Structure 1
Amino acid sequence: MVEKEIDSLCSQYGLKPTSLSDLMLKVNSPDPGLEYGFTGEENSLYLPLYEELKAVSSLSGTGNDFQAYIQFVLNPEKASSEYLADFFNNPLGLKIRKAWETRGFILRPETREPEEPAMALSEVSALHEAAGDAYLSGESGFSGIITSLAANEITFKGKVSVENMCTETGENTSLLSGTAVPLLPGISSFPNVDLDSLTHSKLYLPDLQVQLEVLKIKALTKELISQLSVFECRLSTYPKSITHIRKKLELIREAVKLANDSDYILELIRRGESKKLEFKSTLRMNLLSGKPDWNIEHAVLKTIVAYLNTDGGILLVGVSNSGEVLGIKNDGFPNEDKFLLHFKQLIKQHIGLNYAPMIEYALVPVSGKNILEIDCRKSDKAVFLNPDKNDEEFYIRIGPSSERLTGSKLIEYVNRQYNGKQG
């Protein structure tokens, strides 16, 4: 499931799948002979073997839990360790890390409640020093990986060197095996790690320049949040240039909302059509004939009416049934204003402007194209579609489709849904 989600993200954002093995120069296991477990090499990602811990890009970020991390030294021409750490801490990155455990790439040892308080770091270090010979001989701990001063440093030039490394350990692709040193409360030993499978599992990442730009925007966002907090505190005391400041804040709000809406729409598209979500390729244009078609407009309007009469929902115009983002250009309007005016006129003529407050709509940029997002709330009274002045049609949502009700079924539904109170 996670790989399908990654593939979908790659498709939507135009990204190519990658993996840690494509991005890293070498990987280091924690060295008990070092004060903090690793040497602080530049552009290093410290990836935890337990999902409860955060991925970090600085050695100090591992704290006292450095024994539960692996260090990946990344190629500076391909990836930023800071970006990758942030990626592995976000929802998708966490899903990937959890999937590693589910698929057996990381096998946790049995857990138990500690009978005594966990050892202090100094005690752990002393134990490591006392057990140094055992670690170096491969009798416990890292299963013979640390066999020299540089033995916990493995250089990667492709999959072959990974396989060679695993063969040399005599543990197939298992990098880390059990040790008696407690790492976290209730955990008695290191997990087993199938490093080859883990490093070759799919990720999706933008190119390096985009990664760096994202980091800059994140830093700017944090600074902005800090400044806004100060500004909010001072606002009632120093109400200067209120109008000017308000306009600037509104511009920021709209920019952020637009970016959030775009990603939100992509997430909706990935979910696929449902009772509360439907896609329409165009607002009026028949793509087969290349001409405006009332039947296309009618299909859009009946979906809106069905949402109003049931539990609300979202209609995306400019998206094919398969989830391809087409945009609104196929409708053939000279500009966006003309497109929106035409949509407003359709609502006015065939549903009624009195229902307009329950129909929110906006153009949202998605994958370089604008689509129309129509968000409908549930109406507190029955809503009819008027294809012409002499006809009325009533629709509700049943599953992922809009169904017309007539006669006794219509009366029964209206009485049940609205308690017979209309007007």
Structure 2
Amino acid sequence: MRTPKSLELRDLKRLVREGEGSQLEFKLKTTHPDKIMREVVAFANTSGGTLLLGVADNGELPGLKFPDEDSFVMEKGFARYISPGVHYSKEEIILENGRPVLAYHIKKSTGALVYFNPTGKEEDRKVYIRNADRSIQASREVREILKERLKEKSYRFRYGEKEDILMKYLDQNQTITLREFSRIAGISLKQASKTLILLVLARVLQVFAHEMEDKYLLA
């Protein structure tokens, strides 16, 4: 999705026709600010994106009846649920019916991992990322990969028996999960996790985050 620097009504309609995706999310109103902030966190941790407030999931454009109230709820949500704060810009697009749609353009975080924190307690912090048109909670492996990538380091690994088993498996199968790798290599989940993380950081593998189990494949 390519978002214009400043949206006009025709730009808004074009985006809505494209539908929700990895960098675009529709919300009708701010009834559930916690759920909206998960989307914001996911955008910040992935590639950035735009949240359109006043747009239905099916693409209808009713706009917002009380935009000032919705804007206030959003500001409270940014402050209450997200740590550290995200960089974003907001604009208002007026529809033919006179009601506005609020567009929140969320920038990708380049300095730190962004957490959704519903209680303020460190143990309750969660990381969300964007997967197609959904925001999902990141696994421990994906969190570690995101953290390490922020450091912009280069990574090396030693090619040993477990790596050889993994490569031979991926020659025959498109993807592998953490549990599958642990089983076929005869190693602990902890060791399998460490190996997969390092191979992703070394750009030998890539990971596709999933709600159930992440999938790893050759880069």
Give the secondary structure class of the aligned counterpart of 2:114.
coil
Conservation of the 8 A alpha-carbon contact between 2:42 and 2:129: yes
Conservation of the 8 A alpha-carbon contact between 1:265 and 1:366: no
Deviation per CA, 1:25-72: give whole Å up to 9, x if none.
xxxxxxxxxxxxxxxxxxxxxxxxxxxxxxxxxxxxxxxxxxxxxxxx
- Which residue of structure 2 aligns with residue 268 of structure 1? 15
Conservation of the 8 A alpha-carbon contact between 1:382 and 1:418: no
More strand by share: 2
TM-score (norm 2): 0.60
Q: Which AA in structure 1 matches 2:92?
A: L
**Are residue 374 (structure 1) and residue 121 (structure 2) matched?**
no
User: Which of residues 317, 341, 347 is equivalent to 2:78?
Assistant: 347
- Which residue of structure 1 aligns with residue 143 of structure 2? 410
- Which residue of structure 1 aligns with residue 28 of structure 2? 281
- Which residue of structure 1 aligns with residue 53 of structure 2? 317
Q: Matched residues in 1 for 2:152 and 2:14: separation?
A: 36
Give the secondary structure class of the aligned counterpart of 1:325.
coil
- Which residue of structure 2 aligns with residue 338 of structure 1? 69
Structure 2 unmatched ranges of 5 or more: 154-219
TM-score (norm 1): 0.32
Q: How does 1:66-85 map to 2 (within 5 A)?
A: none
Q: CA deviation at 1:308?
A: 0.6
Aligned length: 145
Conservation of the 8 A alpha-carbon contact between 2:129 and 2:138: yes
**Are residue 365 (structure 1) and residue 112 (structure 2) matched?**
no
- Which residue of structure 2 aligns with residue 181 of structure 1? none
Deviation per CA, 1:190-240: give whole Å up to 9, x if none.
xxxxxxxxxxxxxxxxxxxxxxxxxxxxxxxxxxxxxxxxxxxxxxxxxxx
Q: CA deviation at 1:418?
A: 4.2
Query: Greater Rg, structure 1 or structure 2?
Result: 1
Structure 1 unmatched ranges of 5 or more: 1-256, 285-295, 330-334
Give the secondary structure class of the aligned counterpart of 2:108.
coil
Conservation of the 8 A alpha-carbon contact between 2:8 and 2:93: yes
Q: Matched residues in 2 for 1:385 and 1:327: separation?
A: 27
Q: Which AA in structure 2 matches 1:365?
A: I
Conservation of the 8 A alpha-carbon contact between 2:33 and 2:74: no
Q: Matched residues in 2 for 1:405 and 1:419: separation?
A: 20
Conservation of the 8 A alpha-carbon contact between 2:20 and 2:26: yes
Q: Which has the higher contact order (CA 8 A, sep 6+)?
A: 2
Conservation of the 8 A alpha-carbon contact between 1:266 and 1:366: no
CA distance 1:269–1:406, change in 2 (3 Å):
same
CA distance 1:419–1:277, change in 2 (3 Å):
same
Conservation of the 8 A alpha-carbon contact between 1:347 and 1:353: no
**Are residue 386 (structure 1) and residue 113 (structure 2) matched?**
no
